[in-house]
Amino acid sequence: MVVVSCSIVLGIIWALLIAPNLIGYFLTEVLEIPQSVVAMVMPGLMRAGIMFIWIVLLILPLSNALQEVKVGQWEILLSHRVTTREILVGTFVGRLSIYGLYVLYLAPILVAPF
């Protein structure tokens, strides 16, 4: 519980303070890209990047859950009155919090130039 709350706090600090300053510095000082070019190019890249992050975050837990069922770790559960669908949904929902933290850490990188 402490690790999760610490991760959330660090993620919020990353999202609100560190990522915008780091990406802003990198784009303006290191690459010397004018702000007008960044404003013109970044909306399309942001949409594509956020879409990619969400697609990965939906497909990755589902594929992991299917792989676990295929490996055979769920034999005890399947011996009871539990359907495969319930197992997959439970596994997916159980991992959503972890993947939500991934979004919390990755999304600010794409949104930071604005």
pLDDT single digits (tens) 2-26: 777 888 888 888 888 888 888 888 8
pLDDT band at residue 29 using 50, 70 and 90 as cut-offs: confident
Contact 104, 4 (CB under 8 A): no
pLDDT digits (tens, 9 = 90+) for 41-52: 777 877 887 788
Q: Is the pLDDT of residue 89 over 80?
A: yes
Average pLDDT over residues 18-45: 80
Whether residue 73 is predicted with pLDDT greater than 70 in this model: the reply is no
What is this structure's pTM?
A: 0.51
Count of CA atoms in the C-beta half-sphere (13 A) of 85: 0
